[in-house]
Structure 1
Amino acid sequence: MDTEGLTEASLQELAGARSFARGLGYRDAVSAVEIGDSWITATVHGTEPYLVELTLDDPGGLSGECDCPYGQEGNFCKHLVALGLTVLAQRESLPRQRKAARRRGQDLDAWLSALSRDELLALMREQIGEDRKLRSRLELRASSARGDVSGVRSRIRELLDIGPFARYGYVEYADARAYADQAGQAVSAIVALSRSGRAADAIDAAREAMRLLADAVDSVDDSDGGLGQVGDALADAHLEACRAARPDTEELARWLVAHALGAFDDGLIDIDPLDYEDILGGQGMSTLRELATKAWRSKRKGWAEKALMERLAKAGGDVDTVIAVYAADLAASGHTHLLIAGELDGAGRTEEALQWAVRGIRDTRDLATVDTALVDYLCDRYARAARLSDAVALRRDHFRARLTLLTYRQLRAAAQAADCWPTEREKALTLLRADAEGQRHGSRVLIDALLDDKDLDAAWQAATAVGADDRQWLLLADQARADRPADALDIYLRLAEPLTQQTGNTVYERLVNLLLSIRDCRRRLGTEDEFAAHVQALRAAHRRKRNLMRLMEEQGM
């Protein structure tokens, strides 16, 4: 009955600082606390009443669940924090209450064990008379156990009917969880049917449930993924039933292919045909591949058809078929060519891989839209093969198509490796100067490129000639401050002025950083008195901006 795991520190660690702080304000909203041997439940009143449960002796330590939206996503929410803090307030009595709960549980178990069969039946009948949900679950189990297939399937249809939960034909978020819980009962019935010796009937029931769930999913707000979990469980139930019943392999193969190609249009139940390989056997897998191939050949660009063929081909180590699938629908960006090259590299067919990469560049009509990963791949291959001039040529063409700082850097790296950067640089800068003069790109890559080259004088001249944005002027000032403090000071003063008319902590931080740079320039110029006057004027004009005043004081201004 260790309760050391429940501490303020553990609550804060699980919830995070934000949820923990918010939980502090919900302690008065906790009611109906019930303490068991290893669990504690309560109702916490937030936007609506939420059911909250803390588990004290979980193998992984303290844990909890809450049915609020945030808690349903698996988070340790503020409501759990509030319950934990409420329990900690009565920490001294907690061991005693847990001991009493355990004793009550033992007493109940002993009493039930002592009852006769007739007494237990009477008790059960009493409970199902008072609890309709319990009665419904037991009726379904009874139908499954006695092999009442018609009754089970009728009940499954009822459980998957959205009618009782839908408002105007749609199940809202607030009711989606209850619907998902009910749909989960249908899966349990299918599993029970399978395990009662009626696996073949369970297969049919599972497939009908899949169709019903597919019909329902678009009419349910499944934000929490409850129906997704039901779909996963339903797929598992179908697989289990197939393993038990061993259905006709050709029929199973046809059904699996139809499902993979979206015949049921559910988008919810993910079934991997390869999970059925042990059931299908050699003949069934052969049929599966034949059907998948036929479907793909009739619709080579179909997403589902391509995905199925690719999955089967990769599982079988059939690289040529994988390539054929990719090659049937080549992307204009060259991305598909890159995928093919990767597959061929994996198979040790490096020369073919290189050919496909080269073809990808050649087939791309506009290098501005090419998959940059393909360019990187091909340049890497050129470099490893000592084809440095080819790498430079490709980087040059890519730079001309895009004119970005990244492509400039990549061209520089390739040209430096090939020992031809001075020539390539002059050509590249000529293009960037023309681009800057035409002002086709607001970012003016020319300035960024010169700054990246550490060519400060050229960058300054270019900025003066064609203009620069504030970010670039700031970079120029920072780099020039030591040698050209007067020029840098003019820039800092110009950038600081509009900030004095704005508010907000981010603005204040930027302004103070500029003031620090201004102070440094004034010191270099020997005009500290002018900086002091500047600061005094700022303080007088903006004394009501308390956060700005605080930041300035922290920097000795």
Structure 2
Amino acid sequence: MQLPNLTRDHIRQRCTAQSFTRGTEYFHDGAISNPVLHDWTLSATCHGTYPYRVSVELMPTGIAATRCSCPYDGEGECKHIVALLLTYIQTPDIICSIDALIATLSEKPKAQLLRIISELLSRTPDLASVARVYANMTEETGSETAPTAHELTVCAIVTTYRERIDRAFGPDFLEQHQLQKIITHLEGFVQHAKSLAHLGETELSLSILDALIHQSIVRYPDTLQRQELPRFVKKCATTFAQIAMNVEDSASIGSGIEIVHAPLREHYQMLLELSFEAEPIFISLLTRLLQQCCTIQESADLQATIEQCLDESPDRQAHVHLLFDFYFQAGRIGECLRLARRERENYLLIQTLFTLQQEAAAWQALETHPLSVDEYWCLLESPIATRIRGFTDKLLRIVSDSQPDTAIAVYDRLIEKTVLSRRREDYEKTRDYLMALRELYTQCDQENQWIPYLTHFRKRHARKRLLFQIIDAQHTI
């Protein structure tokens, strides 16, 4: 692990002159105590007006994030962070490396380790609850339940950035002009995340985007709730997906084996939990993001969470669709069909039956389970329609017989699609669809709407001479 080579100039660039001066005084006065370095996290206690907990998330190119428990809300870093960074630069020998300490402790006998634990618990009683959790773990469940150091680091970085972003939003309700200014500021975080991804620091990059998504959604009720913040969240989600999928692709190159990345799994779990708490406008965006990014192994980790929380979902359909997709990825076809039937998700049921080439069952389901116009259109636009011969004609017959009003809307979309082509065969399809549409208007006692529809159609496509030659040759239209 190559730690960054920081200088005093780096610190000066991150704070005001006053903070640097006061931080330098704190450093020389020995205000920093018990500095430790664990993975990329540098932390200590800084004794100012009160003892403050300070931490810095490092990365190979510099400083990723900082955190201090003091109330400072001015520009740049506070004096306590400055004091810690000066300790890192000028007296690195006093910083305790946790990784090196663990390596040393691993060689000690069990009895000595127990004495060390006993001493730690007597000096710091707050650690007792943590020790109890680990003590209650069995060998079989311990490795599954206990968070790894890597996972803890991810959560710490995300939390740090959430706090920084929350400070950018401020404590009060945001007027429109204030929100625009804040989003412009947050765009800088997005660009920083992209730059880190290009440098190979994907975990830190995803942590920033995770925090941006989370805090933007959490603070949405404090705004006028227009479209600016949802658009920004969508942009962050798109960037997150691109980076996450690049990580997945690079991990499988040359091995042919899917690798589950602990940091990715942690991000997906946090985003899933957020989707159960978010305003409805964000839920489908989050579930689509997870659907887009998660591998089979990662989705397996999330299935239990969805199953447990489904009854509490503010958008049950979005979470049902996500769970269905996870089941399907994992090959749990029986669970897919049971979920679709239980939730009366007719489209999911029919789509799955066609995908599994259970065509007889799928056609029967179409006859007994009505769909919406959009769902019928999705089937007509899917690969299923091109794979199965005569699919479109058969589907249209079923819809016309069972839902003539819906069939009118479906035919209207088909006409608008085929009329865009200049090929003769498509114009002939347009003619046939127009004939079927006229019959449907008659069947639904809406003949008075046919003439205005046809007049408007002719006016919009008046320049398509071949189209009307074909149509007018059929005197029934």
Q: Which has the larger radius of gyration?
A: 1
- Greater RCO, CA 8 A, separation 6+: 2
The TM-score normalised by the length of structure 2 is 0.39
